[in-house]
Chains A and B, each alone.
Chain A
């Protein structure tokens, strides 16, 4: 267990101190998270409005989703949030190999999440439960406006899924840097910033799960 950093971080030229640099990075990432909330928010507002306008459609739509898969993905993301947080915890303690392992676990959770999503998507597309104009489901009688529900389903989970993918790429980048021993008790800002992003993705899923899978 080494507490020595192989490559000490160099503060960028325009900052006076490391504290200033950390404060700037964190403020920046929080502002970015704020923009993410508002971007997803547009979809949530649309969902809320149309759900009140067409309650039957949303009720029928949710019966096509398997809440067990949704719940599984919820658990996966929650666990991944823990491993992400622990990766920072171990970096703070100077235990860099444990920190790296936690990042690998987080990445694994990301793969499981996307795998489950793939199963869900391919199953629905196979049935013809496609978004909007491509909707071709005919097996049972459905309400006329049902494609609208699936438009929301695909837009919301699709935008969320693209964020999971982006998060996975970033975590992979962290793993590479972590193997090179870039992080330690004195410098772990990238871990923190990507971590915050990853938690936000989890946060959004916490709302998506009951809204899409459990509506009554």
Chain B
């Protein structure tokens, strides 16, 4: 009855964890250097690679129902929507003096 349940090989789990740990070291190292405006982009890029690994292997998205990534990405999509609209609003507002 669990025939549709894919068992991920043990080695894959170990490899994924190794990759995650290497990336963690990498993100700390990169943070010591200054790439100007790219700092945040690089940090977020690495975090997204790590998140994708967790999603695909630990959370079994690679092997599971394809509806699940759609649901997950829908959440992310609407997050981007709310961020873009708010940011667009604040950037195009008539500037006024802040209290800070």
Interface of A is mostly: helix
How many Å from the CB of B27 to the closest CB on chain A?
6
Complex CA–CA separation, A79 to B7 (angstroms): 19
Are the CB atoms of B75 and A38 closer together than 8 Å? yes
For A92, give the chain B residue with the smallest CB separation. B7
> A213 → chain B, closest Cβ, in Å?
8
Count of A-B contacts with CB under 8 A?
134
Interface residues of B in 1-45 (CB under 8 A from A): 1-2, 4-5, 7-8, 10, 13-14, 16-17, 20-21, 24, 27-28, 31, 34, 39-40, 43-44
Within 8 A of B (CB), among A195-216: 195-196, 199-200, 202-203, 206-207, 209-211, 214-216
Bound CA–CA A74/B43 (angstroms): 14
- Give the interface size class of chain A: 35 or more
Once A41-B82, A86-B13, A207-B51 are accepted as A-B contacts, the answer to whether A144 and B27 lie under 8 Å apart by CB is no
Give the residues from 42 to 94 in chain A that come closer than 8 angstroms, CB to CB, to chain B. 42, 44-45, 48-49, 52-54, 57, 67, 71, 74-75, 78-79, 81-82, 84-86, 89, 92-93
Q: Which residues of B contact A85 (CB under 8 A)?
A: 8, 13, 57-58
Q: Do the beta carbons of B83 and A210 come within 8 Å of each other?
A: no
Q: How far is the CA of A48 from the CA of B80 in the complex (A)?
A: 11
**Residue A27 at the chain B interface, CB threshold 8 Å:** yes
Residues of B within 8 A of A33 (CB): 71-72, 75
**Residue of A186, A196, A214 touching B59 (CB-CB under 8 A):** A196
Are A30 and B71 within 8 A (Cβ)?
A: yes
- A18 within 8 A of partner (CB): yes
Given contacts A41-B82, A93-B7, A210-B31, whether A203 and B67 have CB atoms under 8 Å apart is no
B residues with CB within 8 A of A: 1-2, 4-5, 7-8, 10, 13-14, 16-17, 20-21, 24, 27-28, 31, 34, 39-40, 43-44, 46-47, 50-51, 54-55, 57-59, 64-65, 67-68, 71-72, 74-76, 78-79, 82-83, 86-87, 90, 98, 100
9 contacts between A and B (CB under 8 A): A27-B65, A27-B67, A34-B72, A45-B82, A144-B100, A185-B2, A203-B54, A211-B43, A214-B27
Q: Give me 11 other A-B pairs in contact (C-beta within 8 A), A41-B82, A196-B59 excluded.
A: A26-B65, A33-B72, A41-B75, A71-B24, A71-B28, A82-B13, A82-B14, A82-B58, A86-B10, A214-B28, A216-B39
On A, residues with C-beta under 8 Å from B are: 18-19, 23, 26-27, 30-31, 33-35, 37-38, 41-42, 44-45, 48-49, 52-54, 57, 67, 71, 74-75, 78-79, 81-82, 84-86, 89, 92-93, 143-145, 185-186, 195-196, 199-200, 202-203, 206-207, 209-211, 214-216
